Amino acid sequence: MNLAQIAAITQHHLKGPYINWAALSPTVVLTVGAIAVLLLGLLSSPMVRERLVPSAALLTLLGAIGAEISRFNHPATIVHGAMRVDDLAILIDLICAVSAIATVILAWRSAAPREAGHGEFHALLLFSVMGMAILASAQDIIVLFVGLELLSIPLYILCASEYRREGSLESGLKYLIIGSVGSATLVYGLAMIYGATGQTGFTGIGNAIASNNILTDPLLLGGIALTAVGFAFKASVAPFHQWTPDVYEGAPTPVTAFMATATKAAAFAIFLRFFDVALISDQNKWAPLLAALAAITIIVGNVGALGQTSLKRMLGFSGVAQAGYMLSGVIVGTQLGVSATVLYLGVYLAMNIAAFAVIQAHQIETGDDRIAGLRGLGKRSPALAASLTVAMLGLAGIPGTVGFVGKFQLIHALVDGGYGWLAIVLVVGAMISLGYYLRVVAAVWMSPAGEHAEISGVPAPGDVLPVALAPIAGGSPEADQLPYTEIVFVAVLFATLCVVFGILPSPLFHLAAHAGAAFSGLF
Amino acid sequence: MSLSILLCLPVLLALVATQLPERYVGRGAALLSLIPLGIAIDYLARFNPGNSGLQFVTDKLWISSLGIHYKLAISGLNIALVVLTAILFTISLAWSSQRQIDRPKLYYFHFGLAQSAVLGAFMAQDLVLFVGFFDLMLIPFYFLVGSWGTGDRVRATVKMVIYTAVGSFLMLAAAIATGVLASGQHSTALTFTFTALQHLGLSRTDQDWMFLAFAAAFLVKMPLAPFHGWLADAYKSMPIPAVAVFSGVVSKVAAYGFIAIVLPIFPQASHHYQTLMLVIALFSILWATAMAFTTKDARLVIAYSSVAQMGFIMLGIFSLKSTGDQGALLQMLNHGIVTAASFFIVAAVAARADGSENLDDMGGIAFRAPVLASFFLIVTFANLAMPGSSNFIGEFMILLGVFSTQMWIAIVATLGVVGAAVYALRLFITAMHNRVGGRVKSFEVRRIEVIAIVPLLALILVLGFYPQFGLNKSQDSVKAAIAPAAFGGCQNDFPGRTVLSCVAYDPSKTPTSK
């Protein structure tokens, strides 16, 4: 045995698992970008910090999106089976990245990055997106946990980033404590599942459950229950949702927008992967449990939102309710269910970003987010008002918006999977939700009685009344003069997407079907 | 020319009109709405009454992975309603254009959207498309009531939307379930088109559930008596042109849904629930008639009379006889015209009673406005189904249909005809005759009132002289639509139709055994 051979053998033994860097490229781009942004933020020039840093963050996210798109339809299992970059992961990554882009734009001139430091704010955001990317492609409970913490810890800080404001600090602390409880529960659950199956990989766990006849093993069931609770904390599924409205209300609005959309997407990605891959053979044990949770979540979220006066709190509760809707795609355990959940995550992103963009613009202008404060928005800024209207109607599931498409596919999946009763609960939830979404729309467009001339059946006919005050009409380009053009742009862009894909939803169904097909083990 | 043009034109033209200077938006919208009206009349002219199937079909695969079609068509069931929609919207826009309206651009945009949605609901031949348009219809009216209504309008509009949404969201779930279950039970690809679903019969139990969900949506929308909670507030608050189209055509979408969707797709369940539906319709007639007697509000008299009329239409539909169903279809047309004319007349009368719609404030208006009084009288006669009016033919056919199905219901329902005479004449007399009301300043009918009322009167007269006009287009389509339900869904009269279960089939209930 010559030296060369020895060297080769040593090298072989010392070598880590083979890493397909191409498949991992989105994560790599995010890592490099995040570090670069952090370092850039150390420069003292305000120009660099206020312009260059967010631009670099945007560039990183665009790069990540490019990398993700290039990997679309090329599923690969990487890092020795610890991660799988399939179309589900890619779509979730895209949702998170788009949400982060919107967040950066919304935060462009807001207080949060100024106070927390531009470099830190944007780097934390990028790290969080990276955590989501890892979580969405996790195939192993260790990777799962790493991804989950990587996504959560930056968020705890981001929530508290407006640290001169009491509400922001409260929000960060609350999220930290409750998030930690959730993580701890999850770790217990994962440890018990490992104890029951002796495996850390998802497929390994799945095979062990199927072959070792441990479907009713209390250790396994306990593990499943605790894991479900841990995920439920992250996805704000009732009764583990109490933090949601408080944290949403207190956190800076751009961060809330990010949490509401991206975190939810990542949490549901892992919900889907863990329950519909690793635990699928035990489905008849956990599905009724999750279905009950989903039903409770839909009712609690929708009823809770009814009495809210703060828009962000209302959207917090509405987010809880929507989590209940999305959970139904997990429960049925079919490819259709997976695609329905992913589709809903996508449409939820568009509707929520549009709504939060309007809230951010409104907050900059008036400093509050009360629903009553929206009164007259239809006259002040028709663009924002129309965007908020589309978002609200979409969240309520009115046809012509993507919300209808999303609900359609969820109901389809439920009926198809034999959970017709949950479809009824979903529909009842949607009915209740009209009560609060329409209140917002009414506040925007319908000023209180007597404020403007009304037409009824009875204006004096014939004689046209002289109009004392010319009514202010919609369509004035006021919005352009406001100091937050980029926010209006985000709001209008996402609202337009809501309508366009609401009328022509075929591409969405095709994309979502890819996500469903990623789970080849399901029907 | 594709039906998509007719579908999209109203909303597109409304958008064009909003580009005009604010003063001309209304007139522009009203003039432009003549284009879809012309197109609709063109379809009426080219319609072939001998064909009971679909005509002028536009069929594209809309969402390929779910087998959802963008399919529009004209048939004997909807041709009259499509034309009626175009007429009523044009008239309502003309009425609006003569008035000062706050934020006119939004107002006319919502009107255009409403017209497109209503036309879409009538022409859709795919369940999902229909449900989409059915729900979409609600949104413009939500804004029209909430922004341009009177009184406690925000409360009224939210109430209306939530009531209607309860039904229509259930219908959404049921529509999806129908497609999924039908394709599952017959192991075919997922499909939602009416024609395909008619041949994929569902099992009895499934049909019952689906029927109830669809009925919930339609009964609230019509509305019939126990489901009418939103009606008084919403009708009271709606601007007059909006209430004219709402009561004239939007409520007809629900009745049309029963004939075009529920009866052909859930025939066994329709047969099973026939008596229940007839009883609801009967209750509706009696209750609404009683309400119309007692209310002091002129607008609500018309509102409740329209509930009673919808009850008659429902009776006709669930007589499951071709006479009854044709009568129902004719009555939809009649009622659409009469109710819209009534609302405009109430507005004209209220304008002479110092803006009050309370009957106590009216009276004696006829002395200075004989022409208006004559208009009102014609509408009143049509409303109470005077022999010679088309309404008489409609109600007669409906009662004839019910008579041969459930005689006692027909007998009780006749009370409704009598009641209609009482409340319609009471409204006319208190408003136009009697002592002159305290605040009444009567004057003759004005040009802007003529614009709205005279075309509708002309239609009433035309239909009165020549009711066949409303009947001959629909005969064959109606027969085809009700055939499966009339025979309990068990007679295999549909070539290619698979009957899954006829266990509950009771020969004594089929009309053939009588």
- State ipTM: 0.86
Same domain, B309 and B345: yes
Asked if B448 lies within 8 A of A412 by C-beta distance, the reply is: no
The encoded tokens of residue B413 equal 């329902």
Residue of B92, B101, B142, B439 to mutate, interface with A, max A Cβ within 10 Å = B142
What is the reported pLDDT for A14? 64
Asked if B351 lies within 8 A of A460 by C-beta distance, the reply is: yes
Q: Which of B102, B106, B240 minimises the CB distance to A457?
A: B240
Same domain, B430 and B404: yes
Asked if B347 lies within 8 A of A509 by C-beta distance, the reply is: no
Same domain, B184 and B148: yes
Q: Which of A453, A454, A509 minimises the CB distance to B63?
A: A509
Say if B499 falls within a structural domain.
no
Same domain, B191 and B71: yes
Q: How confident is the model at residue B404 (pLDDT cuts 50, 70, 90)?
A: confident
What is the reported pLDDT for A481? 47
Total structural domains in chain B? 2
Say if B490 falls within a structural domain.
no
Say if B135 falls within a structural domain.
yes
User: SS3 sequence, A236-300?
Assistant: CCCCCCCHHHHHHHHCCHHHHHHHHHHHHHHHHHHHHHHHHHHCHHHHHHHHHHHHHHHHHHHHH
Positions of chain A with pLDDT under 50: 449-481
Same domain, B255 and B277: no
Say if B301 falls within a structural domain.
yes
What is the reported pLDDT for B225? 85
B357 touches chain A (CB under 8 A): yes
Distance CA A300, CA A318 (A): 10
The encoded tokens of residue B299 equal 């607008």
How many pairs of residues across A and B have Cβ atoms under 8 Å apart? Answer: 159
Nearest-neighbour CA in chain A from B164: distance (Å): 9
Say if B322 falls within a structural domain.
yes
Stretch B382-404: mean pLDDT: 89
Asked if A441 lies within 8 A of B142 by C-beta distance, the reply is: yes
Residue of B nearest to A470 (CA): B102
Nearest-neighbour CA in chain A from B62: distance (Å): 7
List of chain B residues whose C-beta atoms are within 8 Å of the C-beta of residue A445: 106, 143, 146-147
Say if B483 falls within a structural domain.
no
Stretch B498-507: mean pLDDT: 41
Residue of A nearest to B100 (CA): A464
What is the reported pLDDT for B491? 47
Distance CA B35, CA B208 (A): 42
What is the reported pLDDT for A448? 58
Same domain, B332 and B392: yes
Residue A480 identity (one-letter amino acid): D
Asked if A442 lies within 8 A of B158 by C-beta distance, the reply is: yes
Residue of B nearest to A438 (CA): B158
Please spell the DSSP secondary structure of B30-96, one letter per residue.
Answer: HHHTHHHHHHHHHHHHH--TT--S-EEEEEEEEEGGGTEEEEEEE-TTTHHHHHHHHHHHHHHHHHH
Asked if A431 lies within 8 A of B100 by C-beta distance, the reply is: no
Q: How confident is the model at residue B361 (pLDDT cuts 50, 70, 90)?
A: confident
Q: Does the pLDDT of residue B500 top 60, yes or no? A: no
Residue A502 identity (one-letter amino acid): G
Q: Does the pLDDT of residue B502 top 70, yes or no? A: no
pLDDT tens profile A426-459: 999 999 999 899 989 998 988 654 444 333 333 3
Q: Does the pLDDT of residue B283 top 90, yes or no? A: yes
Q: Which of A424, A442, A455 minimises the CB distance to B173?
A: A424
Q: How confident is the model at residue B494 (pLDDT cuts 50, 70, 90)?
A: very low
User: Picking from A86-95, B9-18, B499-508, which range would have the lowest pLDDT averaged per residue?
Assistant: B499-508
Stretch B56-75: mean pLDDT: 90
Q: What is the mean pLDDT of chain B?
A: 87
Say if B278 falls within a structural domain.
yes
Same domain, B305 and B220: no
Q: How confident is the model at residue B495 (pLDDT cuts 50, 70, 90)?
A: very low
User: SS3 sequence, A468-512?
Assistant: CCCCCCCCCCHHHHCCCHHHHHHHHHHHHHHHHHHHCCHHHHHHH
Distance CA B186, CA B46 (A): 37
pLDDT tens profile B445-484: 888 888 889 999 999 998 888 888 778 888 888 888 888 8
Asked if B176 lies within 8 A of A408 by C-beta distance, the reply is: yes
Stretch B221-248: mean pLDDT: 91
Q: Which domain holds residue B201?
A: 1-265
Say if B243 falls within a structural domain.
yes
pLDDT tens profile B147-180: 898 888 888 998 899 888 888 889 999 999 999 9
Nearest-neighbour CA in chain A from B65: distance (Å): 7
Stretch B340-349: mean pLDDT: 92
Q: Does the pLDDT of residue B511 top 70, yes or no? A: no
